[in-house]
Structure 1
Amino acid sequence: MKKKRKLRKGLFAKLLAPFLVVFSLLLSFQIYKLNILPVSYLLPVIGVVVVIALLLFLLTYFKAWKTGMRFFITVLVLIFTIAYGAGNYYIYKTDEMFAKIDDLADKTANTATIRVMAGSSIQDIQELKGKTVGICPAQDAQGTRLIETALQKAGVTVNESEYPSMVDMTAALYNGEIDAMIMNDGFLGIVHDVEPYTFVTTETKTIYQEVYYTPKPEIKADSQDQVNVTKEPFTVLISGNDTYGSLGENSRSDVNMLVTVNPKSGVVLMTSIPRDYYLEMACPSAMGCAEGEMDKLTHTGLHGIETTEATLEKALGININYTVRVNFSSLVNLVDALNGIDIDVEKGLAVKTFYANETLEGVKEGRNHLEGERALAFARERHAYLDGDNQRVRNQQIVLRAILDKITSPTILLNYGRFVDAVGGAFETDMPSSQIKDLMRYQLTMNPHWKFESYSLRGEGSTEYCAELGTAAYVTIPDEYSLEVAREKLQAVLKGDSADTVEDTGETAPAGSMQTNDDEEEITDEENDLNVDPYAPDPDADAYTPYRSDDLMEPEDVYGDSSYEQPVNDNVEADNMADYYNPNWAMEDE
C-alpha cells in the first residue's frame, strides 16, 4: 500500500518529465540546425535547455518532497514541457520558412481557387452540391484536377461546364450561366485587363483554395552581386507586382522601392520610385524588352524583375545587389498573418473611400488599424490625393515600416506559426537564406540601432509615347533635381553617412496639409470662395491637348486603379465638397 501511495504522489510530474527531457534534446538539435544563434550564445543556450530538463527530471524521480514542494515541481515541469514544445514548433516553422525561400528559386507557387460572385449565398464547397461549376483545363489542367479531387473527397457532386479561357469562364459567372468557377489566381491579371471584369477580385469571393508547386523552366541563379551583408552596405530592390495569386508570372510592377542598408552605420534608406516614372528601358540580353526605348517603369515588370533592376541601375547610377518580388496576395496574407498593422495618417490625408477598392472603408486622421486588403488599398491609393503618385509612394513606406514594427514586437510570438507560413510563400528573392540568417545573427550579436530614412522621387504628369504599348499613355516625367538628390542620398548611405546630410530644397509637404506664411494675412475659406471665380481658367496652366484615340484604350483605363467616383450628398455644404473627390484627377490622366 505504501508503494502504491508513493507511486501516486507526483504521478503527473513523473509522466511529464520524460517528455520534458525528449523535448529538450530535440529543441537543442533544432537550435543547432537552424544556425541563427551566434556561437557565443549557442552553447550556453543549449546547455541551459538540457540542464533544466535533467534537473527537473531528477527532482521528480529521485527525491521525496512534501506536498507543497511536490506541487511546485509539478508546475515547473508542466511549464517547461509546454515551453519546450512551443519552442520546437516555432523553430521547426522557421526552418521550414527558410527551406521555402530556397525552394522557390526553382519552383513556382500556384493557387487554384473556387470563386463565386460576392453576393452569392454559397459560403463553402459543401454548398456546391448539384451546382454548375465552370472549369478551364486548357489553361490550368493541374489546378483543375486538384480542386476536383478535393470536391470528391468532400463528397460533393457538381455539374461541370468547360470553357476555352479564364475570361470566357468569368463572363459565364457574371452572366449567371454557372454558380462557381475553378480558377488559377495567376490568371486574375489577364481577367483584370478585360473592362467588364476590372474589379473581379472584389466582385467575386474565394470559398476554397489549394496551393501547389510546379518546376520553373530555368533555375534562377543567386545574385552575382552578393556581398558580406554584415560588413558591407548593400541595396535591395523590392518590386510589387499588380497581381494576386502566384508569383510565377511576370506582371507590371506596381511598387518599386530601393532599400539601402549600411550595417556599419546602422542607416536604412528607403527610396521610392513612382510606378509611372518615364525612363529609358534597360534589360539583360534575351529578356525581350525595348532596350534603349522610353517607357514608364511599371512596364519593365512585364519582362521580369531583372529588367526593372537594370533600368533603375542605369537611371540612378548604382549597383543593386539583391531583388525581392512580391504581389498583392503577398501583402494581404502577410498583414493578415500579423493580425493587421497600425498606421498614423497625418492631418488632411484622410480618405473616406479608397478608389483602389471602393468596397473598403478608407482611413481617418490619426491611428488606423488595417487588415490585409485595406493595407493593400492604402498602399495603392493615388486618386484620392492631390499629388497622386507622390503620396502613394509615401503610403507604401508607411505600410513597410508598420510591418517591420509588428514583426519586431513581442506580439509576433502569439501568431508566429501563421506568420512564417505567410512569409515562406510571400516573396521571391535572389538573396540566399544563408545570408538572411547572417543578418539575423548580426542583429542578435550586435543589436544595432537602425535608423530608418526615406526619400521619394518626384515628377510631373504628362502624356508620352510608351514603347511597350506602342502608343501614348499617361506618364510621370522625372524631376531631374529630385533624381540627382536621390543619387547623392544613395551614395551618402553607401559611404557610411546619413541620407539626411543631403538636403532637398525642392521637397514639398504631403498633399492636404495647409501651410500659411506667418508674415501674411491668413485667408479664410469663406473669403476665398467670395473672391475667386471657380470657373475661371488658370492662366498658368499649360495649353496642350492630351493624346486621345477613339480606337485604343489604355491598359490603365481597364486595369489600373478604380475610377469609381464617390457619390455626393446633396445636403453637404459646398465648402466640404473637396472631401469627396480629387479635383486634379481625370480619366484621360490614366
Structure 2
Amino acid sequence: MSRRRRRNDWIPGAVITIIVLMLSVVFMGLLAMTKMVPTIYMLIIGIVLVLFTAVIWLLVWHFRHKGRFIAGTILAVLLVAVLALGSFYINKTRDALSGISGVNTEVTQIAVYVRSDDAADSVEATAGYNFGILSSLDRENTDGAVNHLNSQFGTAVQTTEYAGLTELADGLYKNEVGAIILNNAYLDVLEEMDGYADFESKVKQVGTVDVESEIAVNNTSSDGSNDTQTAEPITTSRGGKVYTIYISGIDTRGEMTAKSRSDVNIIATINTDTREILLVSTPRDYYVPLSISNGAPDKLTHAGIYGIDVCMNTLGMLYDIDINYYFRINFGGFVKVIDALGGITVYSDYDFDSKNITGYHFNQGANYVNGEQALVFSRERYAFQEGDRQRGKNQMAVIKGVVDKALSPEILTSYSSILSSLDGCFGTNITYEEIAQLLQQQLAGGGDWTIVSYSVDGTGATEKPYSMSQKAYVMVPDYSTVDKAKDLMAKVRNGEVVTQADADGTTGQ
C-alpha cells in the first residue's frame, strides 16, 4: 500500500504543473493577440515562463518531499496569480483600445421642435402640423427626417422652407409653422447670433431621429477637386510611418459620435523614424471655405456640424495635405483621463487668472494640474490679448502634457483607472492594428518623443459665415502663417528634425 502511494506521489505535482503550463499558454496566446508586444519580448517572456514551470515541476514532482512540495506549490500559486492578473489587464487593454478604434460612422441628430407652450409632447402629436425646414443648409439630413415623418404619419407632411437659421426660428416664434426640423448641431450656432441666445428656453424638443452615416474621407485639394482615399499612413524609406491626424476637441451635447462643432482643431504630423510629433493648431473662428460650401467661407468650427470628414477635408484644402485619420476628444470627458493619470504638467506662456470660470490661477511656466484645472486652462481665451490663438496654444500644451505623462513609467501605477476612463472620451478611425503597431514600436525602441507646436494666425473681422444668417466675428487667415505650417509639416514628413525654436521663429537668434 505504501509502495503504491509512493508510485502515485507524483500526481499532485503533475496536476499543479499542468495547471501552470496551461495558464502560461493561455497568457502567451492572449499576449500575442494584442499584437503590441515585440517578438523578442514575447520570446523572453516565453522562456521565463518555461523556466518557472520547470522549477515548479522539480519542486513538486514528489509529494513526499514536504518542504520542497510546499515551496513549489507557493511558487505555483504566485505565478498563477500573476498570470491571472496579467490576463485580466491584457483583456481590459484590448477592450479599451477596441472601443475607441476603428470608428467609421457618425450620427446626425435631427430634432423636431415646437414652441415651449405647445401642447404637443411627442412627434406623433405633431401629425398635421406644418413643418419649417432649411431650404439648403444640411438639406440631405433634413430630407431624410422628412421622409421618416412621412413614413411615420402615413402621409406627406407639409413643409415651409426658410433660407437661414434665424428665419427658421422666427417662423416658429411667429406661428407661421407649428414645428421645425433642425439638426441638433445647429443649436450652438443659432445661440451665437444676436437675439437667439435663449432659443432653447422658447422651444420644446418632442422627438429626434438619429441618422447614422459612414465617415467618407476625401482628400480635397486647394483647387476643389477630391478623391476618396482609404486611411493609410505614409511608409518612409527607412520602414517607419508618417501619420497625419486631425485632432478634434468637442464638448458634445449627445453621444461621442454625434456631429457637433469642433472647438479644437489640431493637425498632428507624426514621424515614427524621427520620433517627432508636430502639432499645428487652427483657430476655431478661422474664416475658410468648407469642403461642402461651394467656396463660401465659414467658421472652421462649423465644419463639424456637417461631419468630421468635412473638418478633415476643409483643413486638407487649407494646408494642401491629405488627412485620412482623425482622433476625436471629448474635452468634458477628458477630465477623467487626466485625473486617472494623476494630473499632468502644462506650460503656460503667461501668468493669468481664468475669466471663463473664475477662481483659477496659472503661473507662467510649469503648472501641475488636475483634470478640472486642465479643462479650464484649455478653454480660457478672455484672459489673453491673442484670445483664441492663445487658447489653441494652451490646448496643445494640455495634449503634450498628457502624451508626456502617458509615456512615463508613472502610468503603471494608475493603469487600470486610465483604461476605465477612456470610454466615452475618445474615438478614432485608426484601426486597432495600427495602434497596436505604434505601441509595439514604442516598447521595442523606447525613448522620448519630441513634440513641437505651432499655431496659425489671422486678423479679426466681422463677416457673414456660410452657416449663419447674420454677421459674426471671424478670423481672416494670415496665409504667411499657413505657409509656414505647410513647411513645418513637410519637413516632419520628410524626416527633417524640427525644433520648437524653428516653429517659434527664434532659430539663430
Question: Could you tell me which of 286, 298, 301 is aligned with 1:298?
Answer: 301
Q: CA deviation at 1:307?
A: 1.1
SS for the counterpart of 1:82 is: helix
Cα 1:410/1:17, change in 2 over 3 Å: farther
Question: Could you tell me which of 348, 351, 357 is aligned with 1:349?
Answer: 351
Judge conservation of contact 2:216–2:309 (CA < 8 Å) in 1: no
Question: Could you tell me which of 267, 288, 313 is aligned with 2:276?
Answer: 267
Question: Could you tell me which of 238, 259, 262 is aligned with 1:250?
Answer: 259
Q: CA deviation at 1:320?
A: 1.3
CA deviations over 1:363-407 (Å, ceiling 9, x no partner): 345543323232222111111122212211111111111111221
Question: How far apart are the structure 2 equivalents of 1:361 and 1:70?
Answer: 62
Q: How does 1:488-503 map onto structure 2 within 5 Å?
A: 488-500=487-499, 503=502
Q: CA deviation at 1:252?
A: 1.0
Question: How far apart are the structure 2 equivalents of 1:475 and 1:507?
Answer: 29
| Equivalent in the alignment of 1:329 | 332
Cα 1:505/1:401, change in 2 over 3 Å: closer
AA aligned to 1:334 is V
Greater length-normalized contact order (CA 8 Å, ≥ 6 residues apart): 2
SS for the counterpart of 1:499 is: coil
Task: List runs of 5+ in structure 2 lacking aligned partners.
Answer: 7-12, 110-120, 125-182, 201-208, 218-228
Are 2:310 and 1:315 equivalent residues in the alignment? no
Identity over aligned residues, as a percent? 28
Q: CA deviation at 1:20?
A: 4.5
CA deviations over 1:107-130 (Å, ceiling 9, x no partner): 8799xxxxxxxxxxxxxxxxxxxx
Instruction: Compute the RMSD of aligned alpha carbons.
Output: 3.9
Q: CA deviation at 1:60?
A: 3.7
User: 412-421 or 365-374, which moves further after superposition?
Assistant: 365-374
| Equivalent in the alignment of 2:213 | 218
User: 47-56 or 238-247, which moves further after superposition?
Assistant: 47-56
Q: CA deviation at 1:317?
A: 1.4
| Equivalent in the alignment of 1:480 | 479
Q: How does 1:64-463 map onto structure 2 within 5 Å?
A: 76-102=75-101, 104-106=103-105, 190=187, 193=191, 195=197, 217-220=212-215, 224-227=230-233, 231-283=240-292, 290-346=293-349, 348-351=350-353, 354-358=354-358, 361-365=360-364, 367-447=366-446, 449-463=448-462
SS for the counterpart of 2:302 is: helix
User: 437-446 or 311-320, which moves further after superposition?
Assistant: 437-446
| Equivalent in the alignment of 1:210 | none
Cα 1:18/1:333, change in 2 over 3 Å: farther
TM norm structure 2: 0.69
SS for the counterpart of 2:464 is: strand
Judge conservation of contact 2:299–2:465 (CA < 8 Å) in 1: yes
Judge conservation of contact 1:259–1:270 (CA < 8 Å) in 2: yes
Question: How far apart are the structure 2 equivalents of 1:189 and 1:90?
Answer: 41
Cα 1:55/1:89, change in 2 over 3 Å: same
Judge conservation of contact 1:98–1:424 (CA < 8 Å) in 2: no
Judge conservation of contact 2:319–2:486 (CA < 8 Å) in 1: yes
CA deviations over 1:69-113 (Å, ceiling 9, x no partner): 778656644543332222111100111123323574458799xxx
Cα 1:187/1:82, change in 2 over 3 Å: farther
User: 188-197 or 91-100, which moves further after superposition?
Assistant: 188-197
Question: How far apart are the structure 1 equivalents of 2:71 and 2:407?
Answer: 34
Cα 1:106/1:392, change in 2 over 3 Å: closer
Question: How far apart are the structure 1 equivalents of 2:122 and 2:47?
Answer: 56
Question: How far apart are the structure 1 equivalents of 2:420 and 2:311?
Answer: 28
Q: CA deviation at 1:457?
A: 1.0
AA aligned to 2:271 is N
AA aligned to 1:24 is S
CA deviations over 1:460-484 (Å, ceiling 9, x no partner): 2222221111321111222222111
Judge conservation of contact 1:189–1:242 (CA < 8 Å) in 2: no
SS for the counterpart of 2:411 is: helix
Q: CA deviation at 1:236?
A: 0.5
| Equivalent in the alignment of 2:220 | none
Cα 1:34/1:433, change in 2 over 3 Å: same
Q: CA deviation at 1:424?
A: 4.5
AA aligned to 1:479 is D
AA aligned to 1:231 is G
Q: Which has the higher strand share?
A: 2
CA deviations over 1:135-192 (Å, ceiling 9, x no partner): x8869xxxxxxxxxxxxxxxxxxxxxxxxxxxxxxxxxxxxxxxxxxxxxx9799589
Question: How far apart are the structure 1 equivalents of 2:108 and 2:25?
Answer: 35
SS for the counterpart of 2:312 is: helix
Task: List runs of 5+ in structure 1 lacking aligned partners.
Answer: 7-12, 111-135, 140-185, 199-213, 284-289, 509-590
Q: CA deviation at 1:255?
A: 0.2
Question: How far apart are the structure 1 equivalents of 2:39 and 2:370?
Answer: 39
Cα 1:413/1:381, change in 2 over 3 Å: same
Are 2:34 and 1:34 equivalent residues in the alignment? yes
SS for the counterpart of 1:279 is: strand
SS for the counterpart of 2:241 is: coil
Cα 1:280/1:197, change in 2 over 3 Å: closer
SS for the counterpart of 2:232 is: coil
SS for the counterpart of 2:246 is: strand
CA deviations over 1:265-314 (Å, ceiling 9, x no partner): 2221111111111112224xxxxxx2311112111111111111111111
AA aligned to 1:271 is V
Q: CA deviation at 1:349?
A: 2.1
Question: How far apart are the structure 1 equivalents of 2:373 and 2:366?
Answer: 14
| Equivalent in the alignment of 2:221 | none
Question: How far apart are the structure 2 equivalents of 1:373 and 1:92?
Answer: 30
SS for the counterpart of 1:329 is: coil
| Equivalent in the alignment of 2:112 | none
Judge conservation of contact 1:25–1:50 (CA < 8 Å) in 2: no
Cα 1:79/1:315, change in 2 over 3 Å: same
Are 2:467 and 1:468 equivalent residues in the alignment? yes
Cα 1:370/1:31, change in 2 over 3 Å: same
Judge conservation of contact 1:21–1:57 (CA < 8 Å) in 2: no
Judge conservation of contact 2:248–2:328 (CA < 8 Å) in 1: yes
SS for the counterpart of 2:418 is: helix
